[in-house]
Amino acid sequence: MAVEKIGVYRKWLGAVPTDKTGNPIPRSQWPRKRRYHWIVRWYGTAGTRYGKVFETRKEAERYASELQKQTAVGRMDRPKNVTLCEFYQEHKRIMRGQVADATLDDQLRALKELMDFLDSSRMLCKIQPAHAEAFIAHRLASGSAVATANKDIRTLRRVFNLAIEPRGYLLEGQNAFAKLKQRRMAQSPNRYVSVGEYRRLADMAPNEWWMAVLAVAYGSGLRRNEILHLTWADIDFENQQIRIASKRAGTQTIAWEPKDHEKRFVPMSEEAAQLLARMQIEGEDNHPYVFISPRRLATIKRRQSEGRWSSRSEVINNMWVRLDRMVLKASLSKLSLHDLRRSAITNWAQRLPIQVVQQLAGHSDIATTREYYITVRPEDMAAANSVVNEIVAGRKV
């Protein structure tokens, strides 16, 4: 099967929602306030247009990747001429709503840095690997951290891939950042929080709200925003499970998408279940959120109506400051909520297969689970020492 111009897009469902005045909401708000599926679109050799609809973006991209392998037409088509500045402006316009705001901000920042270095009028197809190498060297010489330069490589590699497919501005193999290697850097060890440290931290929690946040982070391995956007409908007390799923905008809900846009279920400890049960009993009737209070929800809704809210706004203010105070009172070395998540994943890895840990953690790539989230615990090191001592003792015999 020969196809060309394969792309993955949102397929909008239903009519465009309206605001309080009855006017259709702006297109920039569609991803948060309008239902959609994902669709793969392509053209056959005769120019016929085709499409296939999927529930999740991951399924659509997997199908598009398999379809791309069969492509025999269009790879050698002459690319359209476009300058780096034109590509930047187009990317800014068409990607809004297709990726998270933070992701798009990073992509636009990296492109802007590249424009400043090379010249915004340079043709996209004229950017060579040598230019990419020189750009990264310039970033490092200007004082950027190695981690920042490596992030620029990954970000621009992804953006230039979009210039190949679906936009057709570059030929296959013309991604200047495709083979650029990331700079070596010393990896700081991940902070592992032992059960004893977690208990000391929990003892410093000022209220049940914080006790529940810590219990869910350490026992269920959730990200900060996954915790904060939990509703009571996500808590399955009977099966001791928590659901992580997207939320649609409503009168009492905030539009939110989990990372990688996928729904998953994770285990819930008895301690967390008991804390959440007490919070539900003591909470306000018919309020949907577990950790967002009615007062805070009203503030968020007001800021949304005033246009002063974005996906990067803080759902709960000053969480880092409050956690740091608790850590200090517990006489612990510095840690974050994400350290609690990493520790939960490490604990799972002691008993569960790695592919199960990957699914529970919500990682699209198992390499991420292996590289960044599984930590060598003190007891693992002690066991390794015992093995070494036994071997050495055996050789002496």
Longest Cα pair distance anywhere in the chain, in angstroms? 87
Q: How many helices (H) and strands (E) does the chain have?
A: 16, 6
Query: Comparing C-alpha atoms, which of 311, 313, 316 is closest to residue 290?
Result: 316
Output the tens digit of pLDDT for each of the chain's 397 residues: 455 678 899 989 888 889 888 889 988 888 888 989 999 988 766 667 888 999 899 999 888 888 777 664 444 345 678 999 999 999 999 988 777 777 888 999 999 999 999 999 999 999 999 999 999 999 999 999 998 999 999 999 999 999 988 888 888 889 999 999 998 877 677 899 999 999 999 999 999 999 999 999 999 999 999 999 999 999 999 999 999 999 998 999 998 888 877 789 999 999 999 999 999 999 999 999 999 999 999 999 999 999 888 777 899 999 999 999 999 999 999 999 999 999 999 999 988 999 999 999 998 888 888 877 877 777 777 777 777 777 767 654 3
Same domain, 239 and 136: no
Residue 335 belongs to domain spanning: 195-378
The answer to the question of residue 78 being in a domain is no
In a domain, 38, yes or no: yes
Residue in 273, 185, 259, 178 with CA at minimum distance from that of residue 226: 259
**Whether residue 98 sits in one domain with residue 65:** no
Structure tokens at 173: 């193999």
What is the token pair recorded at 331?
Answer: 């006489």
CATH number at residue 252: 1.10.443.10
Residue 324 lies in a domain: yes
CA distance 161 to 173: 9
Q: Is residue 75 part of a domain?
A: no
Q: Are residues 206 and 160 in the same domain?
A: no
- For residue 133, the domain's CATH number is 1.10.150
- Here the contacts of 158-163 (C-beta below 8 Å, separation 24 or greater) are 158/107, 159/91, 159/107, 159/110, 159/111, 162/91, 163/87, 163/124
User: What is the rounded CA–CA span in Å between residue 63 and residue 363?
Assistant: 19
> Does some domain include residue 173?
no
